[in-house]
Structure 1
Amino acid sequence: MFDIRRFAPVSMVLIAASLSGCAGENEPDVDKSASASAPVTTITAPPRPTLTAANLQPPSQDNSYTRSSNRPKVVVDPCTWVDDAAVQKTGFDSQSRRRGKDMIAEYSFLACNFKKGTDATLVLESSNVSLDEVRTKYVGDIEDLIVNGRPAVKSTKGDPDGCSIDIQTAVGYFGITVRVNTSGRTRGIGPCDGILDVAAELEPSIGTGN
């Protein structure tokens, strides 16, 4: 999680060919009762799962700070783009979904939090801060990774109870941070335990082209 204080649906169209004329000598017979102009059939891929509860919606990214900035708006919203099934596969409770500390300014952050009982918190954050800016901010505490083909960095960002993987997006990064609470530490859970698996599970939620 980059703390500012520390710094269509795809459609496929299948068009039935028009059937006309007579069968040739070496051609199969054609049903002459078939319409000369067959109807067009459209098959549409299902849209991305989007959560629509009012309390989960992101804030507007249109204010005096963003209008004066040359940075792009954040596209991927973790609270409405990441579906329940993906969260459940990471071991966190999808029903604990809550908006995090969104910040809309020159540097913008959209955030969402999830719980794993009392042991740990999963913080998802999408930002228009670049991965290179993260590298510069936390120099000496960065491990470069590839997550499902995307460049990424792993870091504790100075938090002994936290571990982050920030994945590159078209406008910045998609951050995945696990923070272990007191009960988790007591049970020997480390914040970086399995975080690469969590990142690999959630990366597809970013979506192609984002």
Structure 2
Amino acid sequence: MKPNRRALMVASVVVTVVAVAGCSSGSQENPDPATPAGSAVTSPATANRPTLTAPHLQPPSQDNKYTKSSSRSKVVVDPCTWVPDSAIQEAGFDPGSRRRGSDVVAEYSFFTCNFKQGEDAVLALESGNVALDEVRKKYPADSEELIINGRPAVKSKKDDSSGCSIDLQTNAGYFGITVRTHTSGRVKGMQSCDNILEIATILEPSIGKEN
């Protein structure tokens, strides 16, 4: 998700640390769509929270030597198992296209999930332990302050490849929503910022008021 934005945020982290610690066991493709289940996945990231339980969607463990030496909070909200199919569909994307992205678990940790809208657009979700204030400082000239369902948020527009993003404040850091339009979408007149405020409003409740 947001590789350009994340790269700037974690530029101070040694590349080899990220390579070793970026355990993304869920990045593999699985042809079976995720289906909601009544049981809960009790990992540190999703404790006591009903989730999508398909094995290939589960987040990696946040227990390694790098996180143990970090003062940053663990990521709580996992976008690939917390956001229900109904919300993704309401946002205009295909819940059957749900795939984990390249999770990173180190001093800076990011859980990611990607969805498609045909061949026109991608919805990339990211939950990280980087504070919203840190996001603001990275994009001082290219951000807009928002309140989404009562939650502080920052909107930023990049070039077409990086897309349009809204980052919402969480207790652990932020929950990022990015829309990128492909060439086919732009031919139809779509822009990456189209409807992103509505998308953020639809997805925000999945974070949970307690987070």
For 1:82 and 1:163, the matched residues in 2 are separated by 20
**Residues 36-87 of structure 1: per-residue CA shift (max 9 Å, x gap):** xxxxxxxxxxx85410011000011111111111001000000000000000
Which residue is equivalent to 2:42?
none
For 2:72 and 2:167, the matched residues in 1 are separated by 18
Alignment of 1:69-84 (within 5 A): 69-84=70-85
Q: Which runs of 5+ in 2 are unaligned?
A: 10-47
For 1:48 and 1:149, the matched residues in 2 are separated by 22
Which residue is equivalent to 2:56?
55
Deviation at 1:6, TM superposition (A): 1.4
Q: Which runs of 5+ in 1 are unaligned?
A: 8-46
Which residue is equivalent to 2:27?
none
Which residue is equivalent to 1:92?
93
Deviation at 1:5, TM superposition (A): 1.3
Using structure 2 for the length normalisation, give the TM-score: 0.78
Higher Cα radius of gyration: 1
Which residue is equivalent to 1:150?
151
For 2:170 and 2:103, the matched residues in 1 are separated by 18
Query: Which protein is richer in helix relative to its size?
Result: 2
Aligned residue pairs, count:
170
Which residue is equivalent to 2:7?
5
For 2:74 and 2:186, the matched residues in 1 are separated by 37
Which residue is equivalent to 1:18?
none
Q: Secondary structure at the match of 1:50?
A: strand
Which residue is equivalent to 1:128?
129
CA RMSD of aligned residues (A): 1.3
The one-letter code matched in structure 1 to 2:79 is P
Which residue is equivalent to 2:159?
159
> Contact 1:49–1:83 (CA<8 Å) still a contact in 2?
no
Identity %: 65
Q: Secondary structure at the match of 2:70?
A: coil
**Residues 119-149 of structure 1: per-residue CA shift (max 9 Å, x gap):** 0000010001000000001110110000000
Which residue is equivalent to 2:142?
141
For 2:120 and 2:6, the matched residues in 1 are separated by 26
Q: Secondary structure at the match of 1:118?
A: coil
Deviation at 1:160, TM superposition (A): 2.7
Which residue is equivalent to 1:43?
none
Which residue is equivalent to 2:193?
192
Task: Write out the 4+ residue segments of structure 1 that deviate beyond 2 Å after TM superposition.
Answer: 1-4, 158-161
